[in-house]
Amino acid sequence: MNSLDVRGLRKSYAGQEVVCGVDLEVAPGECFGLLGPNGAGKTTTLRLCLGLSEPDAGEIQLLGHAVPARAREARAQVGVVPQFDNLDPDFSVAENLMVYGRYFGLGRADIAPRIPRLLEFAGLGGRAESKIQTLSGGMKRRLTLARALVNEPRMLFMDEPTTGLDPQARHLIWERLRRLTQEGRTLVLTTHFMEEAERLCGRVAIMDHGRIIVQGTPRELIAQHIESQVVEVHGPGVDAWMTEAKSHASRTELAGETVFCYANEVEPLIAGLRARPELIYLHRPANLEDLFLKLTGRDLRD
């Protein structure tokens, strides 16, 4: 049985459909990434899956419970890391975990022995008595993650877990999330960092305008939908060079001052570029971000 099964999910706000028929399956122990630009419907989809909002249509099974009818039972076995930290500023680090555990119906005797382990996991050993206001952004994020584990959940939902963190803090979170996957927990995360999804997720779905456009392993999706190599070129005369490049690349794209060339075989392109020292180029393998931009476009989203 899947940890999460979503069929035909729909939700409108004020006459505008923000989730338009989403189907999702997340197997136990999987790390699943829901990707999409801002406003794609990721957060709404998560809220619906958790029973925090009522769908207009569709069926949701979360850990074997029908949601929203039995959302309470489902959430008892789930941990949630929200997009914006909502730690309790009136409490210390350890008190935050204690108070949050009580919302799961746990007693002091159940929670107290878990606190040192959770703090160690979050890299906050020795900070038990610290006030929330004294923590850095990364520490708050780690504490929010620890708080989501206070009920020893089988499954975790994370909405943009590393947004706003510096690389050090981000890598630490990634390392912890890998540890959680190794422990056999199921992870569902939303992100718009493709690098994050590629590193962490066994399977991803790309969502835009309330619909899932593609689903699969990052490698499969890149292989299926996009050329394997990318050459990014900029510099004086790049426009003129682009016409020449079109014959060597299966796809070229001009974004601002930069030309993106996608091809499986890039040697002819590189050879041409060596002869033009005024052009600056970067050759790299195609990644999930290239796929993402191909599918969702380069237009800004607000």
Partner 1 sequence: MSSRYALPSLSLRFVAVWQRHFLVWRKLAIPSILGNLADPLIVLFGLGYGLGAALGEVGGTSYFAFLAGGFMASTTMYAATFESLFSAYSRMHVQKTWEAIVNAPMTLEDVLAGEWVWAASKALAAGICMLAIVAAAGHASFPLALASVPVVVLIGLAFAALGLSVNALASGYDFFSYYMTLLLTPMMMLSGVFFPVERLPEAVQAVSRVMPLYHGVELVRPLLSGALPAEALLHLAVLTAYALAGFYLATVLTRRRLLT
Buried b (16+ CB within 10 A) or exposed e, 248-284: bbeebbeeeeebbbbbeebeebeebbeebeebebeee
Per-residue HEC secondary structure of 100-141 comes to HHHCCCCCHHHHCCHHHHHHHHCCCCCCCCCEHHHCCHHHHH
The correct pick among 23, 25, 95, 253 for binding partner 1 (CB under 8 A) is 95
89 sits near partner 1 (criterion: CB under 8 A): yes
**Cβ nearer to partner 1, comparing 21 with 82:** 82
CB 83 to partner 1: min, Å: 10
From the list 101-109, 116-124, 225-233, 253-261, the region that binds partner 1 by CB under 8 A is 101-109
88 sits near partner 1 (criterion: CB under 8 A): yes
**DSSP states along 131-192:** BGGGS-HHHHHHHHHHHHTTT--SEEEEESTTTT--HHHHHHHHHHHHHHHHTT-EEEEEES
86 sits near partner 1 (criterion: CB under 8 A): yes
53 sits near partner 1 (criterion: CB under 8 A): yes
> For the packed helices 267-274 and 238-245, what is the interaxial angle rounded to 10 degrees?
150
131 sits near partner 1 (criterion: CB under 8 A): no
From the list 73-81, 167-175, 204-212, 279-287, the region that binds partner 1 by CB under 8 A is 73-81
Q: Output DSSP code: residue 251.
A: E
54 sits near partner 1 (criterion: CB under 8 A): yes
Look at residues 50, 45, 47 and name the one whose alpha carbon lies nearest to residue 8.
Answer: 45
For tokens 């040192």, what's the residue? 116
The correct pick among 80, 222, 238, 286 for binding partner 1 (CB under 8 A) is 80
CB 158 within 8 A of CB 86: no
Distance CA 157, CA 139 (A): 19
**Cβ nearer to partner 1, comparing 50 with 180:** 50
CB 62 within 8 A of CB 52: no
Distance CA 286, CA 264 (A): 10
CB 75 to partner 1: min, Å: 4
Phi-psi region of 276 (alpha: psi -120 to 50; beta: other; left: phi over 0): beta
Locate 120 and state its tokens. Answer: 């160690």
From the list 32-40, 82-90, 258-266, 280-288, the region that binds partner 1 by CB under 8 A is 82-90
105 sits near partner 1 (criterion: CB under 8 A): yes
CB 191 to partner 1: min, Å: 19
Q: Tell me, residue by residue from 148 to 187, as one string, x for binding to partner 1 by CB under 8 A and - for no binding.
A: ---x------------------------------------
The correct pick among 59, 72, 116, 164 for binding partner 1 (CB under 8 A) is 72
The correct pick among 84, 113, 129, 277 for binding partner 1 (CB under 8 A) is 84
**Cβ nearer to partner 1, comparing 105 with 277:** 105
Residues within the interface to partner 1 (CB under 8 A): 13, 50, 52-54, 72-73, 75-76, 80, 82, 84, 86-91, 95, 99-100, 102-105, 151
